[in-house]
A and B are shown apart, each in its own frame.
Chain A
Amino acid sequence: MSFDIMLIVDSIPKMLVGIGLTLHLLLLSTVIGLILAIITLLMRISGRWYLAWPAMTYIYVFRGTPILVQIFIIYYGLPQFDFIRESFAWPVLRAPFGCAVVALSLNAGAYVSEIMRGGVLGVDRGLHEAGKALGLKVHQRFIYITTPIAIRLAIPAYSNDCISMLKATALASTVTLMDMTGVARTIVAQTFAPYEIFIAAAIIYLVLTWVIQRGFGLFERRMSRYVKQ
């Protein structure tokens, strides 16, 4: 038995074949997730039960179940229904890529809306009152006061969520997608060198994690320039 460092180095470029798909999944699902999160948040804080309840149910279900199971339900499960196979969404839901994006986005939407809610709740009540006393309308207070402050408060948690999302993209390999983990699994099946290949993949994930963390760190510094050190 041998542990071949050179094999790790050699397999990194091969792994990069899958990085495009990994990043594609990550980007699409973060963006869609963000939109879903904003809609969900607005529903939740609307103060109307017929909007708040569906939002809370959505969050509850998606935060309470494994992403893997969500992917399987969408990929294997939905075709059970004829109406889905005949619907406009079928071209998306038929393909593993579409299913992975749908599952990851729905997941991100649920988590991120909670993160945003945390940010919104973290905004000092006195600032709302000051806004009211100055005559600002509800939407003006939300846009000019709550939002910028909530964003700053939410950055650390959001950064962690993006890292979780990156890690979750690896689950796409379970529905035949050739993301980095998918590529790694294929190479392992051919070479029987699991340590080297998987570690090579892990190194790339770690680098991506570092980039995300660093990026948000800089962003947070920028957003926090008004906070007393």
Chain B
Amino acid sequence: MSDIVGWLDDYFWGAMVVLRVFGVSLLMAVLFGLIGSAAKLSKSRIAKSIASGYTVVFRGTPELLVLLIFYFGSAVTLTHIAQIVDPEIQFVDIPPFWAGALAIALVVGAYMTETFRGAFLGVDSGQIEAARALGISNFKTFVYVRIPQMWRLALPNFGNHMLSLMKDTALISVIGLEEIVFVAEIATTVTVKPFTMYAIVAVIYLAITTVITLVVSGLEKYSNRHLERAR
């Protein structure tokens, strides 16, 4: 027990790092998802094909590999550039935090692209026509008719993507981010209690994913409240 107590603060700060990466890359992923789905639904063939290239590539490549490409790729590039300025420089890299957040955001953003696209198409076009027939402007139709319903349709998948994103943050330890897996690694070398140390990591992840699941299902209930009476 005493082995664990000494490490609790490290786990705590590690967990804070996890949450920060999660927050940052969730924002980016939503952004990529919105851009991607807008491109897929646009009339431009170029935008469409770029977006489908994006989803095919990032949904078909292991997250770890994407991460490695981003981190080591950018490091090599930056080092080259830096050496032009100062030939003495050995190694420059993007902080693992940002390389990692960007990489997993790109992967999850590819999944979100599909979810948002589906949700957008899922809103009954009859309603859009009804709004138009009532003389409501396109913009207002979008804001008051489409968005509220899209959100309801996208929520279940969106929740799953958040869970994937959360779990993907563990990968960033591979490129040296000092989060909880990293803490467990260090703690293991000192205490020689690897099971205990990694089990704590699992428990922390389980706690966070449980909270996400609960929040999402609460939101789902809320967004479906108008359907409650229907059978």
Contact = CB atoms under 8 A, between A and B. Distances in A.
Indicate whether A and B are direct neighbours in the complex (CB within 8 Å).
yes
Interface residues of B, number: 45
Interface string A66-107: 111110110011111100000000000000000000000000
A199 B60 contact: no
Interface stretch (A30-38, A142-150, A169-177): A169-177
Interface string B151-188: 00000000000010001111101100000010010001
Contact of B56 (A63, A80, A195, A206): A206
A72 B184 contact: yes
A1 B198 contact: no
B64 interface: yes
Given A64-B210, A192-B76, A202-B65, A210 B170 contact: no
Nearest to B61: A202
B205 A66 contact: yes
B83 to A, nearest CB: 9
B218 interface: no
A65 interface: yes
Contacts of A181: 62, 64-65, 68
Given A1-B77, A181-B64, A206-B57, A64 B194 contact: no
Interface in B98-134: none
Given A174-B174, A188-B72, A202-B69, A77 B62 contact: no
Given A68-B181, A69-B201, A77-B198, A201 B206 contact: no
A157 to B, nearest CB: 11
A188 B67 CA distance: 14
Given A169-B62, A170-B64, A206-B61, 10 more contacts: A61-B206, A64-B209, A76-B194, A167-B60, A167-B61, A167-B62, A171-B64, A181-B68, A195-B76, A206-B60
